[in-house]
Chains A and B, each alone.
Chain A
């Protein structure tokens, strides 16, 4: 197997593996796994195959009805209203019958969340631009919103469509502002209700039941931008939270219901000092100025580029790779299209040794892609992902889903994958030629032991399950 070699004569130069090997890597490591013929299509120019997927207008938009977060917000409010009415009726009149209308509304909302997730998975299985989709998924996980709150759950699909996907090849600053002002993030991280202790609202209500919530401010600094080791203090977090007061979501009786609003009366008056910088701006400009500075901070470049390298290449990526990404980030003011290009152009990213272990989402979708199919219903997908530990739209914390091998290659995780592979093989394997499929799935990454195991299998089912459970297929 050809490896990246270091020719230590004068300037350090790295050699790339063969084009056939690069095609296999382009499709499996940078993308979502090979669809039939995809590795062949990438062979002429593997790097060009990926670079062509980078485009200013952003990632693809899943086809799921296209409701806006404002519409979803309104539907959720209607449902809550309905429930309130039915509950009061029940209490008052001793009516024990089930609240039918609210129940139906609840189901309808849940169906929409399911439809969002299914549409996203179908896009991932069908797209010929696997790298573009992976790049979008990386950012959706970086700016995690999760269905731990009911109101947030109905906004996750719209969040990805409105805030993430259009901006993933834009500037990081735009992506940061879009995510930090989206109703999904504002509800998930409790920002919508945060009120400055000396704001007009607080003064009017004499401090009763109003106050600061520092959750969004903390997670923006710790997770979305400079990172936890950037050296900020509790005081910086609190000051940033004060700067963000007023960032909220429009209520039922307001023009911008379910959309971002800035509530001046909730904003904490006065100048702020955050990480040594002064922010004398009034109103929304103050929070925006902090976001702009955080986006431009070199610690943000370091933190986020490290994550990109870990996501695509290795749990412990070569420092030279991270340095290249950081350099391009700083040289272009955080232009994410340029950073994506730098990733593809970095020879360290093409080391043929597969390092990354697929997450359950990546794993199952790559299996559908392998046979040129898509999950046809949420029931075909959600229970599998839940069983494998990655319940749809339910990242366990604002940090998002873990992406390291240690987490997912657990004894129980492997057993659950095998059980799923057996079941999946029982349904699809009889329509396939396992030996051809193995070549199609892995190209030059197929190793003799796996090819042999597949060819010696007793049945097509067994061969298929062996292929998708092989170390090569589970890694990228």
Chain B
């Protein structure tokens, strides 16, 4: 970006691109564009169907202990939020933020998908469509596309592979810890030349090189945190990389090492986002939430990694935390009842987390709590959804990032009219 775009120049740009005046006329510029450009959004995708009743155990719900049986938590085991809800004891960062009014839970949130298939539900979560196979691009990418005529917004995913949520017309960056690019080598330039007519490799590689440059700056800026190495990339917190095979010996030490790496990952991501020209929107995936058996230990480890990523992100963003909203969601929740193997099976609504210094200070939950009475459960089985997660996404994109509401309804989340935007969060 050369110069800051103002509204007048935007109108001209919009016209030259064939954008209708109607769109620009309804653009919600509550604040100046400069302020909106500072706002940051991080989406954490918890893969595998995260159990909401473990994230925010409703210990005050009369039916909770009975349904959960052997895996129920006692009221004094959880980090209390209110008379109904607590947080899992591993979520200390989230709890500390909640006490400051900088974190909320949405305890009964779900995508529109009801198939209880991981893969379909993840697709729906990431495409933002009303049905599976509704579209092949991700809603964060369509957000970048919608903003493009207004201001150039960078998107970044953390990890070697590109998640669906950021796939689409706009080439988003991806990054994972590594050794860095040798800037003296000719190879990057020669490859750019070789890829110049390749519609897939050309843009992706160019974006990869840009991101590497930014990574060097981000990590230098964060000294004395040591540069991350490839070993860190193999920690369980990384997307697509499950826990090391041995969870038994020196379990604590491994968990600590995993948490340290997760924290560094979060702080590096924060470092990226405060760079000039850095990403305004980022996505990060955490695996391993599919807990069919022996759930308690598994989910404690996963949640401790998530908490560490959030802690690191909070640190890495520094003063910019005040401009940030973080949303952590999963493709679906799990059964309300414990199953025969100390775990839970695929369910429906789960808990979403909304955090950030940009939130209006305050508490309370996002959406209603349907309760866990048998007749309140979805299909007498799962937590019933009260909030469509697209409503949460739409509310945050409109109020926090300044995406036009009409565009949100038509392009970013088509067929989502029934999902009312969650407003008043920022």
- Is B115 interfacial (CB 8 A cutoff)? yes
Residue of B nearest to A469 (CB): B191
Check: A405 CB closer than 8 A to any chain B CB.
yes
| CB-contact partner of B248 in A83, A214, A234, under 8 A | A83
Query: Given A146-B242, A190-B293, A412-B176, are A209 and B340 also a contact pair (CB < 8 Å)?
Result: yes
Which residues in A have their C-beta under 8 angstroms from that of B115? 228
The interface residues of chain A lying within 8 Å CB-to-CB of B30 are none
A397 x B290 contact (CB < 8 A)? yes
Residue A113 lies at the interface, judged by CB distance under 8 Å to chain B: yes
Tell me if B276 counts as interface (CB < 8 A to partner A): no
- Nearest chain B CB to A264 CB, angstrom units: 17
Chain A, residue nearest B245 (CB): A153
The one of A113, A218, A399 that contacts B245, using a Cβ cutoff of 8 Å: A113
Cross-chain contact A383 with B230 (CB below 8 angstroms): yes
A419 beta carbon closer than 8 Å to chain B: yes
Q: How far is the CA of A222 from the CA of B118 in the complex (A)?
A: 10
Q: List residues of chain A with CB within 8 A of the CB of B343.
A: 190, 213
Judged by DSSP, the binding face of B is loop
User: Is A234 touching B116 in the complex (CB atoms < 8 A)?
Assistant: yes
Q: Is the CB of B174 within 8 A of A474?
A: no
Contacts of A398 in B (CB 8 A): 118
Query: Is A462's CB within 8 Å of the partner chain B?
Result: yes
**Cβ of A406 and Cβ of B162 under 8 Å apart?**
yes
Q: Does A20 contact B (CB under 8 A)?
A: no
Please state if B181 and A415 are interface contacts (CB–CB under 8 Å).
Answer: yes
Q: Nearest CB to that of B345 among chain A residues?
A: A214
Q: Tell me the nearest residue of chain B to A396, going by C-beta.
A: B240
Segment from B80-88, B204-212, B319-327 that makes contact with A: B204-212
Contact partner of B293 (CB less than 8 A), chosen from A80, A150, A193, A466, is: A193
A450 touches B (CB below 8 Å)? yes
Counting chain B CB atoms within 10 Å of each CB, the highest count among A110, A195, A415 belongs to A415
Within 8 A of B (CB), among A365-384: 383
In the complex the two chains form, is B175's CB within 8 Å of A389's CB?
A: no
Q: A190 to B292: give the CA distance in the assembly, Å.
A: 7
Is A409 positioned at the interface, with any CB of B under 8 Å from its CB?
yes
Closest A residue to B160 by beta carbon equals A389
Cβ contact of A228, chosen from B120, B162, B174, cutoff 8 A: B120
Is the beta-carbon distance between A394 and B242 smaller than 8 angstroms? yes
Chain B 205-227 against A: per-residue CB contact (8 Å), 1 yes, 0 no?
Answer: 10111011000000000000000
**CB distance A462 to B190 under 8 Å?**
yes
Is residue A284 within 8 Å, beta carbon to beta carbon, of the partner chain? Answer: no
Segment touching B, from A29-37, A98-106, A135-143, A165-173 = A98-106
B350-399 with Cβ < 8 A to chain A: 379, 381
Distance, CA A408 to CA B186, complexed state (A): 24
Complex CA distance for A449 and B198, rounded to whole angstroms = 12
Which chain A positions have C-beta within 8 A of B185? 422
Q: Does A2 contact B (CB under 8 A)?
A: no
Residue from the list A110, A194, A388, A411 in contact with B341, Cβ < 8 A? A194
Residues of B within 8 A of A234 (CB): 116, 379, 381
**Per-residue interface assignment for chain A, residues 78 to 119, with 1 indicating a CB less than 8 Å from any chain B CB and 0 otherwise:** 001001000000000000000100110010011001000000
The listed residue (B188, B233, B341) touching A213 by CB distance below 8 A is B341
| In the bound complex, CA of A210 to CA of B287 (Å) | 27
Q: How far is the CA of A189 from the CA of B345 in the complex (A)?
A: 11
Tell me the interface secondary structure of chain A in the complex. helix
Interface check A63, CB cutoff 8 A: no
Q: List 16 A-B contacts (CB under 8 A).
A: A109-B246, A150-B247, A214-B346, A228-B115, A228-B119, A383-B234, A391-B240, A396-B47, A396-B242, A396-B287, A399-B119, A409-B204, A410-B160, A411-B172, A415-B205, A416-B160
Tell me the complex Cα distance, A402–B172, Å: 19
Q: Provided the pairs A194-B341, A212-B340, A419-B178 are in contact, do residues A103 and B293 lie with their beta carbons within 8 angstroms?
A: no
List the B side residues contacting A399 at CB < 8 Å.
118-119
Chain B residues contacting A193 (CB-CB under 8 Å) are: 293, 340-341
Which of A195, A418, A462, A470 has its CB near the most chain B CB atoms (within 10 A)?
A: A418
Interface residues of chain A, those whose CB is within 8 Å of chain B, are 80, 83, 99, 102-103, 106, 109-110, 113, 146-148, 150, 153, 189-190, 193-195, 197, 209-215, 218, 222, 228, 234, 237, 357, 383, 386-391, 394, 396-399, 402, 405-416, 418-419, 422, 449-450, 453, 457-458, 462, 465-466, 469-471, 474
Asked if residues A402 and B242 are in contact (CB atoms below 8 Å), the reply is: no
Chain A nearest CB from B295 CB (Å) reads 11
Q: How far is the CA of A449 from the CA of B212 in the complex (A)?
A: 27
Are A222 and B117 within 8 A (Cβ)? yes
In angstroms, Cα B47 to Cα A212, docked, is 23
Bound-complex Cα distance A451 to B233 (A): 35
**Scoring B residues 166 to 187 as 1 if CB is less than 8 Å from chain A, else 0, what string do you get?**
0100011111101101100111
- Contacting pair B248 A106 (CB below 8 A): yes
Residues of B within 8 A of A453 (CB): 190, 193-194
**B62: interface (CB < 8 Å):** no
The 8 closest A-B pairs by CB, nearest first: A211-B340, A389-B160, A411-B208, A410-B162, A412-B174, A415-B208, A411-B207, A190-B292
| Cα(A198)–Cα(B240), bound, Å | 38
Q: Are B233 and A422 in contact (CB under 8 A)?
A: no
A408 in complex: contacting residue of B119, B161, B205, CB < 8 Å: B161
- B135 at interface by CB-CB < 8 Å: no
Do B182 and A422 touch across chains, with their CB atoms under 8 A apart?
yes
CB neighbours of B186 from chain A (8 A):
458, 462
Interfacial chain A residues near B188, Cβ < 8 Å: 418
Given contacts A153-B245, A413-B160, A466-B190, contact A209 B342 (CB under 8 A): yes
| Pair A150/B345 contact, Cβ less than 8 Å | no
B184: min CB distance to chain A, Å: 12
Q: Are A148's CB and B288's CB within 8 A?
A: yes
Is B48 an interface position by the 8 A CB rule?
yes
11 further interface pairs, Cβ-Cβ under 8 Å (given A213-B292, A228-B132, A397-B119): A106-B248, A106-B249, A150-B247, A209-B70, A215-B292, A234-B379, A387-B233, A389-B159, A389-B161, A389-B240, A389-B241
B200 CB–A CB distance under 8 Å: yes
Query: B245 to A387, Cβ gap below 8 A?
Result: no
A408 to B163 alpha-carbon distance, docked (Å): 10
Min CB gap A363→B, angstroms: 12
- Say how far A450's CB is from chain B's closest CB, in angstroms: 7
Out of A389, A390, A408, A462, name the residue touching B187 (CB < 8 Å).
Answer: A462
User: Which residues of A are found within 8 Å of B21, using beta-carbon distances?
Assistant: none
Q: Among the listed B162, B230, B249, which residue makes an inter-chain contact with A103, where contact means beta carbons less than 8 Å apart? A: B249
Chain A residues with CB below 8 A from B48, complex form: 397
Known interface pairs A387-B233, A413-B160, A471-B194; A148-B242 also in contact (CB < 8 Å): yes
Cα A210 to Cα B340 in complex, Å, equals 4
Q: Smallest Cβ distance from A367 to chain B, in angstroms? A: 15
- How distant is the Cα of A469 from the Cα of B209 in the complex, in angstroms? 15
Residues from chain A with Cβ under 8 Å of B182 in the complex: 422
Q: Closest A residue to B115 by CB, please name it.
A: A228
CA distance A407 to B245 in the complex (A): 25
Query: Which residues of chain B (108-139) have a CB below 8 Å from chain A?
Result: 115-120, 132
